[in-house]
A and B are shown apart, each in its own frame.
Chain A
């Protein structure tokens, strides 16, 4: 890639970033352009990923080697597209039922081993090693086991939540709140790290070697909003006078 392409890329990336951030001020055509471009670019990116990772190596190349078995999933897959023709849209059921059947068959052992047995095992295992654990580790293990039982009581609706059951399920809410709070804090920080990344790019593209892309685009946006505000205000005043 030549230097010209790098400069063009810097202007494009800085422009698109500023266009998307401009929504924080108010909705505007630049934001909508960037939004639609994102939709198209995202679809384009995934299209080429599927093309060069699935269709070409797993469908096209086997067919060239006379491996006709790949025609079965291809036909099942193509059947999905009949959704667009209402008269024969029932054909798409063949593709959907294959995915549902395979997915359901896979979800049972996966859910059992990773989300059910492993989680119960992770809660019970430390309790069996209490004799060799330190007092803080014993406390933590008991707290986790107690918390899991309380949360499960909270989600258990086969008995009415009153008396002791209500007290236990209320304790479960506290453990859930701690988890939600921790998850929320992590999400906030993840979003902010993306934001720092964008600011870092904008700072990089503000350098002379990129012909001050960030500054020019931000100034351009400010001029647009100022002019738009001025013209809209003039129109509103004229309408009010009528």
Chain B
């Protein structure tokens, strides 16, 4: 049983990990075909992984309704929202437009999903402002640098900010656009590169640990 439960899954990781890694560096038709096939397979498995999340969500809200838990009525709207997107998708075979114009799927996307999604993220703008107030309380030289970088970025992207910059700092001969370009292209790039190099090293080491079975927490217990 240990073979089926543990050793074969670990062998799958090793085989697919090594083959994928080697295929990337071997310029042969076989390796190109292998990567293409695996990419397709990965898409299929990932689609089923989505199904796992969907079933889990449905179960969780179903039990909430069944137990008449607090706020169970809201759970019904999860199913309403799901059906509002899926039924038009079945009718129009996933097409948002047809020769007649916008389909009911396009309508549902435009007036339900897009409206909800954009509003949900737009609400965050208000919370970001309150976070900015807290984070911009300058307590150290490092916090001051963060504040200045963020302030210039925000200032330079609104017309009023550009007018203020030109009237106050116009004598320097540098427009706020040029300053933003320099910040994004020089000091911010240095910070970003340091982080990216660190992340890359971490990701590579973790990947090797996964391939060779040193890291296997994703397999769960037992």
Which residues does A use to contact B, with CB under 8 Å?
1, 5, 8-10, 12-13, 16-17, 20-21, 23-24, 29, 32-55, 58-59, 69-70, 72-74, 76-78, 80-81, 83-84, 89-90, 93-109, 111-112, 114-116, 119-120, 122-123, 140, 143-148, 150-152, 154-155, 172-189, 191-192, 194-195, 197-198, 201
Which residues does B use to contact A, with CB under 8 Å?
5, 8-10, 12-21, 24-25, 37-38, 40-57, 59, 71, 74-86, 89-90, 93-94, 101-102, 104-105, 107-126, 128-129, 132, 135, 141-143, 145-154, 157, 182-201, 203-204, 206-208, 210-211, 218-220, 222
Question: In whole angstroms, what is the CA distance A83 to B51 when docked?
Answer: 12
Query: Which residues of B sit under 8 angstroms from A53, Cβ to Cβ?
Result: 94
Which of A41, A55, A108 contacts B113, CB < 8 Å?
A41
Query: Which residues of B sit under 8 angstroms from A120, Cβ to Cβ?
Result: 197
Tally A-B pairs: CB < 8 A: 407
Say whether A143 contacts B187, CB under 8 Å: yes
Say whether B17 contacts A80, CB under 8 Å: no
Known: A40-B85, A44-B85, A177-B146. 15 other contacts (CB 8 A): A9-B107, A34-B119, A41-B84, A41-B113, A44-B113, A53-B94, A54-B44, A58-B43, A83-B52, A100-B218, A104-B211, A108-B21, A112-B204, A152-B198, A175-B194
Contacts known (A74-B48, A182-B149); A41 close to B116, Cβ less than 8 A: yes
Which of A5, A84, A144, A185 contacts B153, CB < 8 Å?
A185
Contacts known (A77-B48, A95-B45, A178-B145); A41 close to B81, Cβ less than 8 A: yes
Closest partner residue, chain A, to B83 (CB atom): A44
**Residue among A5, A55, A174, A187 having the largest count of chain B Cβ atoms under 10 Å:** A174
Say whether B125 contacts A185, CB under 8 Å: no
Which of B37, B45, B108 contacts A77, CB < 8 Å?
B45
Question: In whole angstroms, what is the CA distance A74 to B42 when docked?
Answer: 10
Say whether B112 contacts A16, CB under 8 Å: yes
For the complex formed, measure the closest distance between the CB of B181 and the CB atoms of chain A, giving whole angstroms.
Answer: 11
Closest partner residue, chain B, to A151 (CB atom): B194
Which of B21, B45, B55, B197 contacts A148, CB < 8 Å?
B197
Closest partner residue, chain B, to A59 (CB atom): B44
